[in-house]
Chains A and B, each alone.
Chain A
Amino acid sequence: MKFMHLISVLALSGAVLNAQAETITVYSAGPKGLSKSLVKNFEKDSGIKVDLYQATGGKIMSRYQAEKSNPHVDVMISSSLGHAITLTKAGELLPYQSPNAKNVPDFLKSDTYVSQGAAVLAIAYNTQSTLPEPKLWSDLTKPEYKNQITMPDPSKSGSALTLVEGLTEKMGDDAWTLFSGLKQNDILIPGANKAALNPVLQGAKSVVFGAVDYIALGLKKKGETLNVIYPEDGTVLAPRPIMILKSTQHADASKRFVDYILSNKGQNMVSNTLILPARTDISTSRPGFDDLKLITFDQMTAAAHAQATKNKFASIMGQ
């Protein structure tokens, strides 16, 4: 019986002619719970229907590129600012300033995108380790941390790249010396964010250099023996840009969705995922703008020579 039901759903889903409600298509790079609750509540409050495709930042971009001849997506929420910069340069984004974005700091928005929130780059530390808790990024170059550090690969993780860019921007050559020091300590760079975190969770290593804080904070809340340390010499934000595509047939509905994410309700949902909400006036249970020492730098310029930064990092790490 259920099988027949699926067949009919299969048949019906081919006919996407839904006359009653306007439908927008959203591609989102997670976290899944957040995208789902944003979409569900927006549908309830606005009467607009949302088709949600949920994958990783890279996958949603790949799908968008492959669909170019017949685009479907109206709004994209990515986990990497690089995507917003690329699409802005290509002229594929619809300029929009949401009235709700008044309290979003300038470095988290432009005329073509606005951040949903941001991940903060931090040190994640397994409290079962016998090592002292690091206070500064450079602490991890000390000999006692030898063989105990992991880091996400900047060529695979947008947030790790942002960290490398931010530190080199602020410290200049000292940053490269720092990375060489990490290499001397046999830092392990096993892939994207989760790959760097798992060995520390499982106790094979002790510290992550450049962990995405909201994931680590969430795990800590679940009872993992993790601490999230924001180094005193400052840290960087990895924005999560929301973009409306120029090819959209539903500009108004899309704008309403962006407004919704930036409304009090939407921002509270962001904050509940332990992501730093983009608006400075939203109170949050996690460390907020006032608690963090942020390194701000011109991300546009940094993006222009991102490839050179990645190559230099890789050559220091002997990749």
Chain B
Amino acid sequence: MYSNARGSRLPLAFNLVSIFSLFLIIGLPVISVVLFAIFPSFNELSFARPFSNFIPQFSNPHLLTSTLNTLRLAFSVTLMSIMIAVILAYLRSRMHDHYGRIWDVLFLIPFLIPPYIASMAWIQMFQFNGFFYQWFDLNLSGFLFSFSGVVFVMTLHLFPLIYFAAVNAFKVVGNRYSDVAKIYGAGSVQIAFRILLPLIVPTLLSTGLIVFALTIEEFGTPDILGSRFGFSVLVTSIEEKLTDWPIDLPGASVLSLLLITIAISVYLIQIAISKRYTDSVDNQTMASKPLNHKGFMLVSHGIFFFVAVFTVVVPLFSILTSSMMQTMSRGLHWNNLSLEAYQTLFSLDDGALDAIYTSLTLALMTALITAVIGMLVAFTLIRLKPKGHKILDALSLLPNAMPAMVLSVGLILTWNQKFLPVTPYNTLFILLLAYTCLMLSYPIRMLTAAMKQLPASLDEAAAIYGADLLLIARRILFPLLIPISVAAGCIVFAISTRELVASLILAPAGTETVATYVFNQFDQGSVSSGMAMSFVVIVVSGMLIALGQLLAKRHAR
């Protein structure tokens, strides 16, 4: 299709750059982990006793239980997230944009709340003697400390990922198909199931895959809630090898291979399913028109409000009150409230402000870098389809499926070598690299899904008029994808500001990020300081994201 001379060299360049950057950022640490699993002394650069670690690791009787628990949890969370996200995204597509945008910003907040803090918040709400017990005489600890409770907390945290992508998908689908169907006498249920759903299936599958991968990798929630009722997943078993004496890094790497296998299998299943549904919209449609039905709008906003109470209001309330309680044991009373934690936070010698500054800067840089690489990779994967593009695609998923702790070990193994003339290790750049590696899959998934939906007829039309590939990309494809890269960038920013595990293990000496500060406070300091820090960062990041959205909107005009 793109046949002129300039065009033939360009795809090659795009391919090489994409492959090289993904390999450098993700490939190397993953390969290190795999090598470490095979060669248990790889951390000393010795290749002795290959595979000697497999049998002892796999003969652990608990392994099967945790593997099955991992799968059960991941499927449940993914399905629940898809369900909630689709319903909300559909309602959102029928709303006026300026109301809808408020909900969009609100639903970014669950990402800003670290899962382990959200879990603590829910414990404070639901446990015996907790807030719900004091206010409504409800003791929901039986629900919270159960499989359903873990699914509940994780779904509330992850469904927005699918929601954002689905909102965009509905936008691209637009209303014309439904209008046509209506003319032919289809009912709204029929339209939903026969037209809208199939059209957004690719999006749901690709973001559902991320939610799945994130669930199998999530440590905080299963650890905090699951350890209360003897529920263990693979990641908690892996984390034990890395934190409990005796430390067993190679063992953790071996178990990570299981997670990699699960993720790749699910990825292949996803490809198989999406082959059956390759409905792409073959012409650019106009944006959907909001519905002006008062009753319907009231009900939609009511539903959104209900979800927002659970995903945003309750956790934030809990974080805010914890940060303002002078002592935990005296509970929520006027005479126990103080702003002391906030005063400590803003005193200069505490290091909190430096931590906030470090985290926000790193998060911003990560968001920019991943958005650019994501755009490049999505374009390469979808429009150029090089040989082996599936490998690239799968590679981008792996960091989500591997525990961040193991990936951090992989990064140390990769970059802490004597023979490297320059290395990011022991500088802030290693954190930037780690965040980029961990976050790359969001923009890649979101942008590839969106790029798939952009009709090829766009390119063809432009090509007929003599535009070469670069021009098509620059003038047509990239501008259309700007809103999605901004959305992806916001998600990356939100998650980066609170990334804990990699920050904890990779931080150069003397550097603290927001999450490590909070963690140290929880571990041996004061819970109220940790909560105050979390609250401040949620507010600041939320404002920055809202600002980013605003600028993007301006730009889009």
Contact = CB atoms under 8 A, between A and B. Distances in A.
Contacts of A126: 329
A82 B245 contact: yes
12 contacts: A10-B429, A16-B426, A53-B509, A59-B504, A62-B409, A62-B505, A65-B249, A66-B408, A68-B44, A83-B245, A86-B246, A224-B327
A27 to B, nearest CB: 8
Interface stretch (A109-117, A190-198, A262-270, A280-288): A190-198
Interface string B426-440: 111100000000000
A191 B416 contact: no
Interface stretch (A30-38, A228-236, A253-261): A30-38
Nearest to B127: A204
A201 B329 contact: yes
Given A6-B357, A66-B249, A30 B523 contact: yes
A25 interface: yes
Nearest to B418: A70
Interface stretch (B236-244, B278-286, B368-376, B464-472): B236-244
Contacts of A191: 223-224, 227
Given A59-B504, A65-B247, A54 B520 contact: yes
A5 B141 CA distance: 49
Contacts of A57: 245
Given A10-B428, A224-B328, A156 B243 contact: yes
B510 interface: yes
Interface of B: 43-45, 120, 123-124, 127-130, 141, 223-224, 227-228, 230, 240, 242-247, 249, 326-331, 357-358, 361, 405, 408-409, 412-413, 416-418, 422, 424, 426-429, 504-505, 507-510, 516, 520, 522-527
A250 interface: no
Interface string A273-298: 00000000000000000000000000
From B127, B418, B524, name the one whose CB has the most chain A CB atoms within 10 angstroms. Answer: B524
A201 B331 CA distance: 9
B220 to A, nearest CB: 11
A134 to B, nearest CB: 18
A203 B242 contact: no
Interface of A: 2-3, 6, 9-10, 13-14, 16, 25, 30-33, 51-59, 61-63, 65-70, 72, 80, 82-83, 86, 126, 128, 153, 155-156, 158, 161, 188-191, 194-195, 198-199, 201-204, 215, 219, 222-226, 306, 318-319
From A52, A54, A72, A215, name the one whose CB has the most chain B CB atoms within 10 angstroms. Answer: A54
Contacts, number: 161
Contacts of B130: 202, 204
A25 B361 CA distance: 26
Contact of A52 (B240, B416, B509): B509
From B326, B422, B427, name the one whose CB has the most chain A CB atoms within 10 angstroms. Answer: B427
B412 A66 contact: yes
B244 A155 contact: yes
A156 B147 CA distance: 22
A222 B328 CA distance: 10
A54 B519 CA distance: 11
Nearest to B501: A59
A165 to B, nearest CB: 13
A-side interface mostly: mixed
Contacts of B358: 6
B328 A67 contact: no
Contacts of B246: 82, 86
Contact of B329 (A16, A30, A83, A203): A203
Nearest to A225: B329
Contact of B429 (A14, A189, A223): A14
Given A53-B507, A62-B243, 8 more contacts: A10-B427, A31-B525, A51-B510, A59-B504, A61-B245, A62-B242, A202-B127, A226-B329
A195 B128 contact: no
A189 B412 CA distance: 33
B124 A194 contact: no
A194 B328 CA distance: 13
A195 B417 contact: no
Contacts of A306: 245
A70 B45 CA distance: 10
B329 A156 contact: no
A86 B248 CA distance: 12
Identify the 5 closest CB pairs spanning chains A and B, nearest first. A58-B243, A51-B509, A82-B245, A66-B412, A201-B328
Contacts of A13: 426-428, 508
Contact of B417 (A30, A70, A223): A70
B367 to A, nearest CB: 14
A69 B328 contact: no
Contacts of B428: 9-10, 13
Nearest to B522: A194
Contacts of A31: 524-525
A202 B328 contact: yes
Contacts of B44: 68-69
A38 B535 CA distance: 30
A128 B329 contact: yes
A319 B127 contact: no
Contacts of B523: 30, 56, 194
Contacts of A14: 422, 424, 427, 429
B501 to A, nearest CB: 9
B412 A67 contact: yes
B416 A69 contact: yes
Contacts of B123: 198
A226 B526 CA distance: 15
A201 B527 CA distance: 11
B331 A3 contact: no
A59 B404 CA distance: 13
Nearest to B245: A82
Contacts of B522: 194
B453 to A, nearest CB: 36
A203 B245 contact: no
Nearest to A55: B504
B284 to A, nearest CB: 39
Given A2-B357, A155-B240, A30 B245 contact: no
Contacts of A188: 228
Contacts of A156: 240, 243-244
Contacts of B417: 69-70
A34 to B, nearest CB: 9
A59 B418 contact: no
Contacts of B120: 198
Nearest to B139: A204
Contacts of B504: 55-56, 59
A41 to B, nearest CB: 14
Given A156-B243, A194-B523, A62 B405 contact: yes
B327 A69 contact: no
Contacts of A189: 227
Contacts of B243: 56, 58-59, 62, 156
Contact of B129 (A54, A63, A203, A225): A203
Contacts of B525: 31-33
B356 to A, nearest CB: 12
Contact of A30 (B127, B244, B427, B524): B524
A51 B427 CA distance: 12
A319 B230 contact: yes
Contact of B418 (A25, A69, A225): A69
Contacts of B331: 202-203
Nearest to B41: A68
